[in-house]
């Protein structure tokens, strides 16, 4: 029997699941929040009924699990810049009624300003400027809004020491956000730090 560890998130042995119509296997090698949970994340911020701006929706794996958690009472705006990936994203989420996919570049949030205010921004974008992309999108956050970033150190700088990159990124995020928790995703994802914060 799977045990509920966060609202909408279940664990059985070392396996995680989210619950839509059925329990869906949440692979911690393919989804960074699942890896963070298995590594001891205490502050899992995705909740039922939330409106979420998701930057870097990619193939739709993680956003699909978030869709289960926020339920029909919630809504996800999935931003993806790659034409190549969009068909796979659309295929993955076609049964989800609470995801609005958008072919947009997250560096230009003014292009999707119509979405209004959100409870939470989740970012998983492997770009050199991933921190500043997140900060540019903070205009959408409600008061005390939450941010989550799956920071990829090697995308920021492939040469420098990973821990140094983490430290610098947290310092930069601290200008706008109060950091609640940061979890290293080894061994499931290399050179990734999962950061949860709150708008100052």
Give the pLDDT score at 159. Answer: 85
Give me the torsion for CA of 38, 44, 48, 50, rounded to 10°: -130
Give the pLDDT score at 14. Answer: 86
Domains in the chain: boundaries = 47-199
Q: To which H or E segment does residue 11 belong?
A: strand 9-12
- Look up tokens 């290399």; give the residue: 190
For the cut 80, the answer to whether the pLDDT of residue 83 exceeds it is yes
The answer to whether the CB of 119 falls within 8 A of the CB of 148 is: no
Cα-trace Rg, the chain:
16
Compute the distance between CA of residue 56 and CA of residue 25 in angstroms, rounded to an integer. 21
Q: Please state the pTM of the whole predicted model.
A: 0.95
**DSSP label at 67?**
H
What CATH number belongs to 47-199? 3.40.50.150
How high is the mean pLDDT of the chain?
94
Q: Tens of pLDDT along 2-23?
A: 899 999 999 998 899 998 778 8
Q: 56-85 burial string, b = 16+ CB within 10 Å, else e?
A: bbbbbbbbbbbbbbbbeebbbbbbbbeeeb
Q: What is the mean predicted confidence (pLDDT) over 74-96?
A: 91
Q: Tens of pLDDT along 68-79?
A: 999 999 999 999
Vertex 97: Cα angle to 86 and 11 (nearest 5): 90
Strand, coil or helix: what is 29? coil
Residues contacting 22, CB < 8 A, separation 6+: none
Residue 130 burial by Cβ neighbours in a 10 Å radius (0-12, 13-18, 19+): buried
In the sheet that 177-184 helps form, which strands lie side by side, from edge to edge?
A: 99-103, 75-80, 51-55, 118-123, 141-152, 192-199, 177-184
């Amino acid at each position: 029997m799977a045990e509920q560890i966060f609202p909408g998130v279940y664990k059985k042995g070392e396996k995680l699941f989210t619950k839509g119509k059925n329990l869906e296997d949440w692979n911690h090698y393919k989804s960074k929040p699942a890896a963070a949970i298995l590594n001891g994340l205490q502050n899992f911020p995705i909740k039922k009924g939330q409106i979420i701006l998701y930057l870097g929706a990619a193939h739709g794996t993680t956003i699909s699990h978030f869709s289960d958690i926020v339920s029909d009472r919630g809504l996800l705006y999935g931003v993806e810049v790659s034409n190549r990936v969009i068909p796979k994203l659309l295929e993955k989420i076609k049964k989800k009624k609470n995801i609005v996919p958008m072919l947009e570049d997250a560096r230009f949030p003014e292009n999707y300003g119509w979405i209004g205010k959100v409870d939470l921004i989740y970012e998983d974008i492997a770009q050199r400027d991933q921190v500043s992309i997140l900060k540019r999108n903070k205009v959408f956050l409600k008061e005390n809004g939450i941010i989550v970033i799956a920071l990829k150190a090697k995308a920021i700088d492939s040469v420098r020491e990973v821990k140094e990159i983490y430290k610098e990124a947290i310092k930069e995020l601290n200008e706008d956000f109060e950091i609640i928790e940061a979890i290293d995703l080894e061994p499931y994802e290399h050179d990734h730090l999962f950061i949860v914060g709150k708008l100052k």
